[in-house]
Structure 1
Amino acid sequence: MTHTYGATPRHSADQVDRAMRAMEDHTGTVPGHRRAHPRGIGFRGTFTATPEAAALTIAEHFQGRAVDTVVRLSNATGSPYAPDRAAGSRGAVLGLAVRFALPSGSHATWGAPNISAFPAGTAEEFIGITTAQRRGRRGLPNPGRLLGYVAGHRHAIPGLKAIAGLPATESFATTPFYGLHAYHLVDAEGRRRAFRYRWVPEAGEATIRSEDDRLLPPQYLISEIKQRVERAPAVWRLVFQMAAPGDPTDDVTRQWPDDRETVTAGRLVVDRLHEDQEHVEGLVFDPTNVPPGIEPSNDPVLHFRSQVYAESHRRRSQEDKPRLKPE
């Protein structure tokens, strides 16, 4: 059940189509796959909220009872054949998506990348920055084109730095993931508090060593997390960052100061491989699909993601995947 507060930003079919075409033309997408986060792996697990979270929201999955989850870990690059690290010790954008089974019988979904800032604050900016990454005749990106975009969109710099500065991680299980967008918690008295969330790995953060870089294949993260979960669960803590008065909730490019209050809201335990990977690949992890007690903010990119995800699902469902599969 989706529940939103106030007017929900909507974008035109033309904007959604131009975003899809920008990804299809410039990020290496492959028919039959998601337009973003195309290579992933599904697991089962549980999420258990803390009493502190239950005091802040009436949302079903935050009342302290363990709820079943489907978790998809993924590489965000457009092509399912892309490597898991850019070059050497530089990492790639990854994702953690969660489908919570609600006690009422429905589901809630969230999706978070491993970057702490995003370079586009509107649908048009997303289309612009994706188009600026188009490659030339030799298959190489044109740095001047991207710099030209940045010159007119200085607020994109923190997000681009976050992407460029990603280290090559040892494992999905040693990677933090950030919800990026603002939401509102609603408690039993109707009080609303704005927050952003992140998933913090209980194993700690760890990057690959220089000797690992020489030995690891281009795609290694899915094999690693499968082997790791066979030995022991992978665990993340859910942390809410609470807004202070005046903190923007409608602009994903403007993150809040690090000194804001935080609340440990729950624990996600991933303990076994999902038995039906095709089923997981068919799921849509819409970040606006939340139950009463959590309300999406009016951040336009948050709502644009919902529309783009739906269109991506429609398109890939009508396409045949290549015979050869990525890792």
Structure 2
Amino acid sequence: MSESPNGVATPASIVDALKTVAGNPPKVRASFAKGWCVRGTYTPSDRAGDVTRSQSFTRPSRVLARFSVGGGNPDVADTNRVLRGFSFRLGDGDHRSDILTESAPVHFARTPEQMLAFLEARIPGPDGRPDEAKVAAFSAANPETLNQANYVAARPLPASFAGTTYWGVHAFPATSARGETRFVKFKVAPVGDDVTLTEQEAETKPADFLHVDLNTRIGTGDVRFNVMALLDRPGDPVMDVTIRWPDEDSREEVRLGTIVITGFEPNQACDASIFNPANLADGIGHPPDEIFAARRTAYAISLAKRR
């Protein structure tokens, strides 16, 4: 793994690098800057307690959520081949959980040092573009950092926020109603199939077509997701967020509940605070990997910067 050329990786230095790669747009998130705030409801399944005693997953609640487009540019076109994000808050009071998911099952770096070096290799030069030789050299030395981009590139473009499968890339320790703890990964799947675009269809779409589509689907009650827990097996790599569990797509999974998105909220409702990955109600623990530990601090730093 290559070390960062500019010293120690801290959550603050990672936020700064994310902003620099995006051209330092003011008062927006360092990542997933473009997005829309929505509300809805969560209804648990009768099997949720088999996985977690967390009341945010075992009780019905209102949902505050945000759909987003990857990267730090708030004006990115929805046809760009970047991640889609879905962050949501379940439960209330002392039993609130914030879950952050994205349209790839892996992260692009294993450690904060690797994440910072990945970003620094992509900082634009005077011509506004990154040095392709520097990017290629870093990728050759750190091949696992291409797993996320390769996953996105191998799949058709999403045609709808409501027709996209989202993943929580971390392994979360979940304690069941019986007191048994095991690792799970979150997968949030649309009720119905994924909806995708061909490259030719994408060329005809306006820059904000995902918002238009979402508005239409909310109006027809057509934005529903199953919140799934993928169950671990002995030996699964729970510390490395750049790789998937073996046979992850055919894993045993339990439906924890269903989210229905019922309307838009003013963006200020999502922008006034953060979906903080550290907010997890008893029954869902913090993942043990280094990236999760850094994210917990980085989100608060990003919020302070955009204020």
Task: Give the TM-score taking structure 1 as reference length.
Answer: 0.86
Match of 2:299 in 1: 309
* 1:158, distance to aligned residue in structure 2 (A): 1.7
Aligned residue identity for 1:27: A
Match of 1:146 in 2: 135
* Correspondence for 2:71 among 73, 77, 80: 77
Whole-Å separation in 2 of the counterparts to 1:66 and 1:106:
12
Matched, 1:265 2:259: no
Q: Is 212-221 or 298-307 further displaced after alignment?
A: 212-221
Matched, 1:281 2:275: no
* Correspondence for 1:202 among 149, 169, 191: 191
* 1:61, distance to aligned residue in structure 2 (A): 2.1
The structure-2 alpha-carbon separation of the partners of 1:45 and 1:149, relative to structure 1 and needing over 3 Å to count, comes to same
> Which runs of 4 or more aligned residues in structure 1 lie more than 4 Å from their structure 2 counterparts after TM superposition?
none
* 1:209, distance to aligned residue in structure 2 (A): 3.9
2:54–2:95 CA contact under 8 A, matched in 1: no
Matched, 1:119 2:113: no
* Correspondence for 2:17 among 10, 13, 22: 22
Match of 1:190 in 2: 179
* Correspondence for 2:49 among 30, 40, 54: 54
Match of 1:134 in 2: 123
Q: 1:296 is paired with a residue of what secondary structure?
A: coil
Whole-Å separation in 2 of the counterparts to 1:283 and 1:94:
20
Q: 2:273 is paired with a residue of what secondary structure?
A: coil
Match of 1:242 in 2: 231
The structure-2 alpha-carbon separation of the partners of 1:139 and 1:269, relative to structure 1 and needing over 3 Å to count, comes to same
Q: Is 164-173 or 174-183 further displaced after alignment?
A: 164-173
Q: Specify every segment of 5 or more residues in structure 2 that has no aligned partner in the other structure, as ranges.
A: 1-6
Aligned residue identity for 2:295: R
Q: How many residues align?
A: 299
Match of 1:160 in 2: 149
1:118–1:160 CA contact under 8 A, matched in 2: no
Aligned residue identity for 1:77: G
Q: Is 185-194 or 235-244 further displaced after alignment?
A: 185-194
Percent identity at matched positions? 24
Whole-Å separation in 2 of the counterparts to 1:49 and 1:106:
14
Measured against aligned partners, the alpha-carbon deviations of 1:78-129 in whole angstroms (never above 9, x if no partner) come to: 110111122xxxx321100001133x45522011111122220111111111
Q: Is 196-205 or 161-170 further displaced after alignment?
A: 161-170
* 1:239, distance to aligned residue in structure 2 (A): 1.4
Q: 1:85 is paired with a residue of what secondary structure?
A: coil
2:157–2:198 CA contact under 8 A, matched in 1: no
1:173–1:203 CA contact under 8 A, matched in 2: no
* 1:23, distance to aligned residue in structure 2 (A): 1.1
Q: 2:10 is paired with a residue of what secondary structure?
A: helix
Whole-Å separation in 1 of the counterparts to 2:16 and 2:166:
27
Q: Specify every segment of 5 or more residues in structure 1 that has no aligned partner in the other structure, as ranges.
A: 1-11, 318-327
Q: 1:51 is paired with a residue of what secondary structure?
A: coil
Q: Is 236-245 or 152-161 further displaced after alignment?
A: 152-161
Whole-Å separation in 2 of the counterparts to 1:242 and 1:15:
32
1:233–1:272 CA contact under 8 A, matched in 2: no
Whole-Å separation in 1 of the counterparts to 2:28 and 2:146:
29
Whole-Å separation in 1 of the counterparts to 2:203 and 2:144:
36
Q: 1:279 is paired with a residue of what secondary structure?
A: helix
Match of 1:299 in 2: 289
Measured against aligned partners, the alpha-carbon deviations of 1:163-221 in whole angstroms (never above 9, x if no partner) come to: 43343211101111100000011123321011101111113111124553332112321
Task: Give the TM-score taking structure 2 as reference length.
Answer: 0.91
* Correspondence for 2:84 among 81, 86, 94: 94
The structure-2 alpha-carbon separation of the partners of 1:128 and 1:51, relative to structure 1 and needing over 3 Å to count, comes to same
2:55–2:95 CA contact under 8 A, matched in 1: no
Q: Is 285-294 or 14-23 further displaced after alignment?
A: 14-23
Q: 1:55 is paired with a residue of what secondary structure?
A: helix
* Correspondence for 2:202 among 193, 213, 217: 213
Instruction: Provide the aligned C-alpha RMSD in A.
Output: 1.9
